[in-house]
Chains A and B, each alone.
Chain A
Amino acid sequence: LAKTTQPISMDSYEGQEVNITCSHNNIATNDYITWYQQFPSQGPRFIIQGYKTKVTNEVASLFIPADRKSSTLSLPRVSLSDTAVYYCLVHGFDTGRRALTFGSGTRLQVQP
Chain B
Amino acid sequence: DAGVIQSPRHEVTEMGQEVTLRCKPISGHNSLFWYRQTMMRGLELLIYFNNNVPIDDSGMPEDRFSAKMPNASFSTLKIQPSEPRDSAVYFCASSTQGFEQYFGPGTRLTVT
> Which positions in A face B, CB cutoff 8 Å?
34, 38, 41-46, 49, 87, 92-96, 98-105
Contact = CB atoms under 8 A, between A and B. Distances in A.
Contact of A46 (B43, B45, B91, B101): B101
A101 B56 CA distance: 12
Interface stretch (B67-75, B77-85, B92-100): B92-100
Interface residues of B, number: 25
Nearest to A94: B98
A102 B43 contact: yes
A101 B45 contact: yes
Contacts of A94: 98
Of B98, B101, B105, B106, most buried by chain A (CB within 10 Å of CB) is B101
Nearest to B56: A99
A91 to B, nearest CB: 8
A46 B50 contact: no
A43 B91 contact: yes
Contacts of A102: 35, 42-45
A106 B93 CA distance: 21
Contacts of A41: 106
Interface in B40-58: 42-45, 48, 50, 55-56
